[in-house]
């Protein structure tokens, strides 16, 4: 992605928008560029037409009302897709060339994205694919849910501004469970995590992010001054707290704690850098027996397909995986025998040693008995925590397989093991328990691992550390499978700068490193199986020190994870 847009192209984008709007008296908020940094003729014309045909401040408030949503970039792109449909139809008689531009854009979009598999698409991508195929007279091959949403999304050119805004709000509520209200520019925003978060770049007072075939530029809203609000969450969503908890239960599963228990846990843990956050612990059990809307059905279909792929990929390489499990079992058992084996002690009670009786008589030494005692290491339990954020998409089959292999090996060694996944959404850090310590025969549940939302690694580690305090075993090991890219919507108040800072990059890494060190100080051995890219290796080193390793294939799993576990057992 380019790092800078030239002043010439910025001016050209403004002129394209003003020309389409037939008005040079306003400052455009949305601007579009190609990946080469050239002002995009087609989309800047569409942005200008939105000013020409609608009361644009009303549209702008609606877009700003989406800024606090977890997947705001995707909702924004969907709404522009619907607006494009209406605006081109309204303008095509006055500007016939616009129809040709639209068809050229549709053909270019399909050439670039039309060949991807359905399961690889973002939600916006497969709707855009269907939209542009329909525009070109090609078959859409949509499910009934897809078709219903697309029909509603392609707004009629006959709608006036109020009717259009109302239709947008209705669509967002029906399909995405979002009550998108028109918000003024005084609305206090929160850090916006777009889907391709690694590609988002600050650009002066704006952000560049992927949009269609190129990039979109949208101004960063004012942070609202330096005074810290009483509640750092303020209004990320228009849903009430009760509605949000209900939404989390419907999306991720029924909570395993009663309301008063979760309130007490949040009071204990959601402090400091995590003030204003919430927690949701679940085993993934469905909260409702029916699906309420089409978008929910689409998400469930995608998750079910991913779970099926997790299992299919594992079983496709089952022989290789079983060998890896057996080798890991051997390494763990050798470690237990070497470092945790019982030993003989002498004392004044136990089994009498006949050869030492003389010491009691002649030397007045009472320690003529012997007994077998366990090593001071005592029992060991292992918790496995899987990073289930959106950034793990594309690695889900691999991570679920690695998690299964480690858990299965521990189960065969008789070591209590608990496996969990974590992500965050709308300020909630969600921890799902796939299998608990006593459920050694339930490792298959690990294949239910899917990705969603962001990840507040520090709070997840803090929560799991607290959960591990109740483990029956004296010695505890925490294995985290993560790409070490913490990012969450709830920002941190910086006392020195008297301003909010985003929970991402260096800030998120520092917070996670602090929580890992805190866990280690309480006697928990924390190790990481790194699942990310080369660019995030420094973050992994910062957070986990030398106690992390990278697995590029299942053949490396036994040696790599076995060594990590051996090192921790040796230090017990």
With cut-offs at 50, 70 and 90, classify the pLDDT of residue 3. Answer: low
pLDDT number for residue 448:
95
Q: What is the tens place of the pLDDT at every residue in 530-556?
A: 988 888 999 999 999 988 888 877 777
Tokens of 397: 């089959």
Contacts of 293 (CB under 8 A, 6+ apart): 174, 175, 177
pLDDT at 437 over 60: yes
Give domain limits for the chain.
Answer: 7-219, 256-283+321-330+378-570, 342-373
With cut-offs at 50, 70 and 90, classify the pLDDT of residue 50. Answer: very high
Instruction: Among 21-35, 434-448, 496-510, name the most confident range.
Output: 434-448
The mean pLDDT value of the chain amounts to 81
- Which among 517, 518, 486 has a CA at the least distance from the CA of 504? 486
- Which among 346, 454, 473 has a CA at the least distance from the CA of 391? 454
pLDDT number for residue 194:
30
Task: For the full predicted model, state whether its pTM sits above 0.95.
Answer: no
Pairing type for strands 475-482 and 487-494 reads unpaired
Q: What is the tens place of the pLDDT at every residue in 194-226?
A: 333 334 444 444 567 777 778 887 754 443 333
Percent of the chain with pLDDT over 70: 80
pLDDT number for residue 346:
65
302-306 long-range contacts (CB < 8 A, ≥24 apart) are 302/119, 303/450, 305/119, 306/119, 306/396, 306/450
Per-residue pLDDT averaged across 462-480, rounded?
88
pLDDT at 97 over 70: yes
Tokens of 326: 């057996």
pLDDT at 185 over 60: no
Are 193 and 454 in contact by the 8 Å Cβ rule? The answer is yes
Distance (Å, whole) CA 189 – CA 205: 14
Number of other residues whose CB lies within 10 A of the CB of residue 239: 16
Tokens of 413: 């060694």
* Rounded-to-10 torsion of CA 212, 215, 219, 225: 100
- Which among 169, 123, 566, 160 has a CA at the least distance from the CA of 382? 566
With cut-offs at 50, 70 and 90, classify the pLDDT of residue 271. Answer: very high
Among 276-290, 332-346, 407-421, which is the least confidently predicted range? 332-346
Number of H helices, E strands in the chain: 18, 16
With cut-offs at 50, 70 and 90, classify the pLDDT of residue 230. Answer: very low
Per-residue pLDDT averaged across 265-275, rounded?
93
With cut-offs at 50, 70 and 90, classify the pLDDT of residue 486. Answer: very high
Per-residue pLDDT averaged across 289-297, rounded?
60
Q: What is the tens place of the pLDDT at every residue in 364-379?
A: 777 767 765 555 434 7
With cut-offs at 50, 70 and 90, classify the pLDDT of residue 65. Answer: confident
With cut-offs at 50, 70 and 90, classify the pLDDT of residue 145. Answer: low
pLDDT at 176 over 80: no
pLDDT at 151 over 70: yes
pLDDT number for residue 239:
62
pLDDT number for residue 313:
94
Percent of the chain with pLDDT over 90: 36
pLDDT number for residue 193:
31
pLDDT number for residue 69:
66
Instruction: Among 180-184, 252-256, 430-434, 449-453, name the most confident range.
Output: 430-434
Determine whether 333 is exposed, middle or buried from the number of CB atoms within 10 Å of its CB (0-12, 13-18, 19+). middle
3-state secondary structure of 414: coil
Per-residue pLDDT averaged across 323-338, rounded?
82
CATH number of 256-283+321-330+378-570: 3.40.50.410
Distance (Å, whole) CA 63 – CA 57: 10
pLDDT at 446 over 90: yes
Among 96-110, 212-226, 473-487, which is the least confidently predicted range? 212-226
pLDDT at 179 over 50: yes
What size, in residues, is the chain?
572
pLDDT number for residue 560:
80
521-552 burial string, b = 16+ CB within 10 Å, else e? eeebbbbbbbbbeeebeebbeebbeebbbebe
């Amino acid at each position: 992605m380019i790092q800078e847009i030239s002043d010439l192209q910025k001016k050209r984008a403004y002129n394209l928008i003003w020309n389409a709007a037939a008005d040079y008296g306003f400052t455009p908020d949305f601007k579009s560029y190609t990946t080469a940094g050239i002002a995009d003729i087609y989309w800047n014309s569409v942005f200008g037409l939105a000013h020409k045909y609608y009361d644009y401040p009303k549209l702008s408030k609606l877009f700003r009302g989406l800024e606090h949503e977890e997947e705001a970039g995707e909702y924004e792109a969907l709404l522009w897709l619907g607006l494009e449909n209406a605006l081109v139809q309204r303008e095509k008689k006055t500007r016939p060339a616009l129809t040709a531009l639209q068809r050229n854009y549709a053909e270019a979009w399909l050439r670039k994205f039309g060949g991807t598999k359905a399961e690889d698409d973002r939600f916006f991508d497969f709707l855009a694919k269907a939209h542009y195929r329909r525009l070109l007279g090609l078959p859409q091959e949509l499910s009934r849910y897809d078709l219903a949403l697309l029909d509603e999304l392609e707004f009629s050119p006959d709608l006036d501004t109020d009717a259009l805004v109302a239709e947008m709000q209705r669509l967002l509520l029906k399909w995405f469970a979002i009550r998108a209200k028109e918000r003024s520019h005084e609305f206090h925003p929160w850090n916006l995590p777009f889907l391709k978060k690694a590609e988002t770049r600050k650009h002066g007072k704006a952000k560049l992010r992927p949009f269609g075939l190129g990039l979109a530029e949208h101004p960063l809203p004012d942070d609202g001054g330096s005074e810290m609000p009483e509640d750092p969450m303020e209004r990320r969503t228009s849903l009430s707290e009760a509605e949000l908890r209900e939404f989390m239960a419907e999306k991720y599963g029924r909570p395993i704690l009663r309301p008063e228990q979760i309130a007490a846990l949040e009071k204990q843990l959601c402090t400091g850098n995590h003030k204003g956050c919430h927690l949701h612990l679940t085993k993934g059990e469905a909260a409702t027996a029916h699906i309420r809307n089409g978008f929910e059905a689409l998400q469930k279909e995608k998750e079910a397909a991913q779970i099926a792929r997790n299992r299919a990929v594992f079983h496709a390489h089952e022989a290789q995986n079983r060998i890896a499990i057996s080798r890991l079992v051997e390494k763990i058992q050798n470690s237990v025998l070497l470092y945790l084996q019982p030993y003989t002690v002498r004392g004044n009670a136990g089994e009498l040693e006949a050869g030492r009786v003389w010491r009691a008589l002649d030397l007045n030494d009472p320690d003529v008995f012997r007994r077998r005692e366990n090593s001071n290491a005592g029992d060991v339990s292992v918790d496995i925590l899987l990073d289930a954020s959106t950034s793990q998409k594309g690695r889900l089959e691999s991570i679920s397989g690695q998690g299964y292999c480690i858990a299965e090996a521990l189960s065969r060694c008789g070591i209590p093991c608990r496996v969990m996944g974590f992500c965050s959404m709308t300020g909630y850090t969600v921890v799902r328990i796939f299998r608990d310590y006593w459920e050694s025969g339930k490792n298959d549940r690990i294949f239910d691992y899917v990705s969603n939302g962001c990840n507040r690694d520090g709070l997840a580690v803090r929560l799991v550390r607290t959960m591990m305090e109740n483990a029956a075993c004296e010695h505890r090991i925490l294995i985290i499978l993560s790409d070490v890219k913490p990012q969450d919507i709830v920002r941190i108040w910086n006392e020195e700068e008297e301003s909010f800072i985003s929970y991402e990059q260096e800030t998120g890494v520092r917070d996670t490193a602090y929580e890992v060190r805190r866990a280690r100080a309480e006697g928990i051995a924390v190790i990481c199986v790194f699942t990310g890219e080369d660019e995030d290796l420094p973050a992994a080193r910062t957070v986990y020190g030398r106690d992390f390793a990278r697995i590029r294939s299942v053949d490396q799993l036994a040696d790599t994870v076995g060594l990590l576990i051996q090192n921790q057992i040796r230090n017990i």
